[in-house]
Amino acid sequence: MINLKDKTILITGGTGSFGKNFTEFLLKNTPVKKIIIFSRDELKQFKMEKEFNDGRLRFFIGDVRDLPRLERAFNGVDIVIHAAALKQVPILEFNPYEAVKTNILGSQNVIEAAINRGVKKVLLVSTDKAVQPINLYGSTKLCAEKLFVNGNFYSPDETFFSCVRYGNVIGSRGSIVESLLKNRNAEKVFITDKRMTRFWITLEQSFELVLFALENMAGGEIFVPRIPSMKLAELFKALVPGAKKEIIGIRAGEKIHEILLTEDEARHAYGIGDYFVILPENEEIFCNKIRFKKIIKISKSYRRVFVSPVIPIKNGSRRPIWRKLSIK
């Protein structure tokens, strides 16, 4: 695990599900010097301060759309975790430019503020919806990933930018799991499509992924966990077995199956234990063999892999899974 002794960490969107729980994890398990929570919600900040009651916590009210406010907040910060985003897929389909302003322009503001303030490491929290996106949310997160990867050109060897990308977090605020657990005795539940699958990750796994990325990043990588997928129909059956299931159809911007790693990305990805590390495609500009020699060295015991995101299964649908195809 990365040594966080005497480090100051800032988390944008720090009052969200990931930010709040990651903060609690860091306070309990690491010698971190200070954690700064940067978010727009003063009520959540007030409640979080009372709940944690820890002198290492600081709070900044601000919006990632506001570059001067970010620059003020980033003063003296060693590591930034950029988790702030607008995320509700159907809502963003009808409020497209709001998503652009927060998820794209806000991410660029984070990049510029980090460079201006000399932050050493900046990590974007991304999503599987950024992979071959069909909705606005996924498209904005794909753009944010591209901004972060190529942000390394602005301040080479001074500020390093990388990404983590994962699927649905089990039990996060507003998730389908949270909704079902609150309605275990429901008589009827609504399913968009019985074929639909999603990748699942626990909060603890997301913390481990972020810490692994912070420890090993050289700037430009996308870190992806090897996590399972599940049919939503099976999830409903497990959590609300007695409820009647009604199929209502896919909502605007939804996929039947998500993808975490494409076959094209797999050409320049390395498998390391529980993770895939996608290196930048432009090897000449990034000097991959030199810049990412640590990642390449760690992965020596693993073969470079192609990943097939879908394979046919018996019932005729297609389900995302990991399948390794070794390359000698």
pLDDT at 7: 97
* Percent share of the chain, pLDDT over 70: 91
Query: What does the alpha-carbon distance between residue 167 and residue 322 come to, in Å, rounded to a whole number?
Result: 14
- Say if CB 311 and CB 323 are below 8 A apart: yes
Is the pLDDT confidence value at 187 over 90? no
Residue 7 annotated as catalytic: no
Dihedral of the CA atoms 195, 199, 202, 208 (nearest 10)? 170
Of the ranges 86-95, 211-220, 236-245, 314-323, which one carries the lowest mean pLDDT score? 314-323
Residue 166's pLDDT band (cuts 50, 70, 90): very high
Is the pLDDT confidence value at 177 over 50? yes
In tens, the pLDDT along 290-306 reads 899 889 888 876 655 44
Residue predicted with more confidence, 326 or 283: 283
3-state class of 69 per DSSP? helix
Domains in the chain (CATH in brackets) are 8-168+201-226+258-307 (3.40.50.720)
3-state class of 243 per DSSP? coil
pLDDT at 146: 97
pTM for this model (two decimals):
0.88
Of the ranges 11-20, 195-204, 250-259, 311-320, which one carries the lowest mean pLDDT score? 311-320
Which is catalytic among the residues 7, 20, 121, 129?
Answer: 129
pLDDT at 302: 62
DSSP 245-289: EEE--PPTT--SS--SS-HHHHTTEEEETTEEEEPPS-HHHHTHH
Of the ranges 71-85, 150-164, 166-180, 251-265, which one carries the lowest mean pLDDT score? 166-180
- Say if CB 62 and CB 15 are below 8 A apart: no
Residue 253's pLDDT band (cuts 50, 70, 90): confident
pLDDT at 174: 66
In tens, the pLDDT along 46-104 reads 999 999 999 999 999 999 999 999 999 999 999 999 999 999 998 999 999 999 999 99
Phi, psi of 155, deg, nearest 5: -145, 65
Mark 158-192 as b/e (b = at least 16 C-beta within 10 Å): ebbbbbbbbbbbbebeeebeeebeeeeeeeebebe
